[in-house]
Amino acid sequence: MAATNSFSSYGSVAKTFHWLTALLILTTLPLGWVADNLAYAVLHADTAPTEAEIARAARVFSLHKTVGIAVFFVALARILWALTQTKPGLLNAENKPEAFAAETVHWLLYGSLVLVPLSGWVHHAATEGFAPILWPFGQNLPFVPKSDVLAEVTGVLHWLFMWVLVGSLVLHIAGALKHHVVDKDSTLRRMLPGRSDAPEPPRQHHSLVPAVAALAVWAMVLTGGWVTGEFAREAGDADIELAEVQSDWQVQTGTLSITISQLGSPVTGSFTDWTAAITFDDPAQVGPAGSVDVTIAIGSLNLGTVTEQAMGADFFNTAQFPTTQFTADLFRTETGFEARGPLTIRDKTIDIVLPFSLDVEGETAVMSGSVDLNRLEFDVGTSQPTEESLGFAVSVSVDLTATRAE
């Protein structure tokens, strides 16, 4: 059997690409369905999920993503090979409507084999958390930032393109069976391994009209997704909105973030609603320098794909404990500054020390600091008593610029 195509038959390379693609697609689609159901069970369980349940969902999602990336590269190689080859003619080219439908479905398949895994890959790179890709690359992509909006859009695109893939795959299989069972021609047999006895196809002319039809289908799917509100992003507002506080120093800009370790990979999220009442006078020597009273709306935390889980009863439990409080005295030390005082998370209060750097120029102060906490000391994630899925350490970082109030 020849490696290359002819006008009447497919070569061994094209057949290998075809059946390898089929195997990968028929593997990754059910994996995605199972992973979605496992993830839903973890996020919406009546009781806190166990480490085994979280690990199982993560493993299946990782397999789904990994096989999906394989589909992407195999599809690219298949398309590049097809561009160098003779396109075997349709055996039923004289049946114009059926030939048009067959070529349109082929365009939908080729496009979907690239768009589905690519949109999923970008979604993975743009978001934080959950299940890593098992290839030695791919957790991040060049020019793809960590972005909630981008993650939301590409997640919807992945879902819409997936249904185009499923629909075109069903039509493709139905067409092949129709040729084999009803027409009894060699359309299916010439794609099977080994030498085929396919007859010479009739003379035919291929146009770009089926490709345009495929583009129209994708456009209709995207339009339908837009009209039905699939792209309407749900705002992740906090459960409460904190009131402004009186402060000698007013925070102008700042970020308050946490980094956890999930399945061995760091996941970083930030709070969008927090207040700080600050008094500060830079002492000439080691000693007291002021005070700070920080209130954080826990519901304003965005932690990627695990945000909803983080708000649950076993973790921050925002329904019962919507805010976190840190009340501290500020001190100048021999090497910099420290904030020393009680931190309350949930119903646990522990004294902590937050070292920070401070640069004061005139009426403007730039501060940066971080501290590592143990989540179990605050009864966060007690259903995860080991670090198999969720690490004990939580790194808290704060960076802000404040100006002295008039």
SS (H, E, C) the chain: CCCCCCCCCCCHHHHHHHHHHHHHHHHHHHHHHHHHHHHHHHHCCCCCCCHHHHHHHHHHHHHHHHHHHHHHHHHHHHHHHHHCCCCCCCCCCCCHHHHHHHHHHHHHHHHHHHHHHHHHHHHHHHCCCCCCCCCCCCCCCCCCCCCHHHHHHHHHHHHHHHHHHHHHHHHHHHHHHHHHHHHCCCCCHHHCCCCCCCCCCCCCCCCCHHHHHHHHHHHHHHHHHHHCCCCCCCCCCCCCCCCCCCCCEEEEEEEEEEEEEECCEEEEEEECCEEEEEEECCCCCCEEEEEEEEEEEHHHEECHHHHHHHCCCCCCCCCCCCEEEEEEEEEECCCCEEEEEEEEECCEEEEEEEEEEEEEECCEEEEEEEEEEEHHHHCCCCCCCCCCCECCEEEEEEEEEEEECC
- pLDDT (0 to 100) of residue 233: 57
pLDDT given for residue 336 in this prediction: 92
Any idea where the domains of the chain sit in the sequence? 12-227, 249-404
Going by CATH, does the domain composed of 249-404 fall within 2.40.128.110? yes
Predicted confidence at residue 41, as pLDDT, reads 85
Is the pLDDT at 48 greater than 70? The verdict is yes
| Rounded percentage of the chain residues whose pLDDT exceeds 90 | 62
Checking if the pLDDT of 43 tops 80, the result is: no
Q: Say which range, 5-14, 106-115, 251-260, 286-295, has the weakest mean pLDDT.
A: 5-14
pLDDT in tens, 348-357: 999 999 999 9
On the question of pLDDT at 236 being above 70, the answer is no
pLDDT for 94-121, tens place per residue?
A: 888 989 999 999 999 999 999 999 999 9
Q: What is the mean pLDDT of residues 361-376?
A: 95
The reported pLDDT for the residue numbered 202 is: 84
Average pLDDT rounded to a whole number, residues 11-24: 94
The pLDDT assigned to 186 comes to: 84
- % of the chain at pLDDT higher than 70: 98
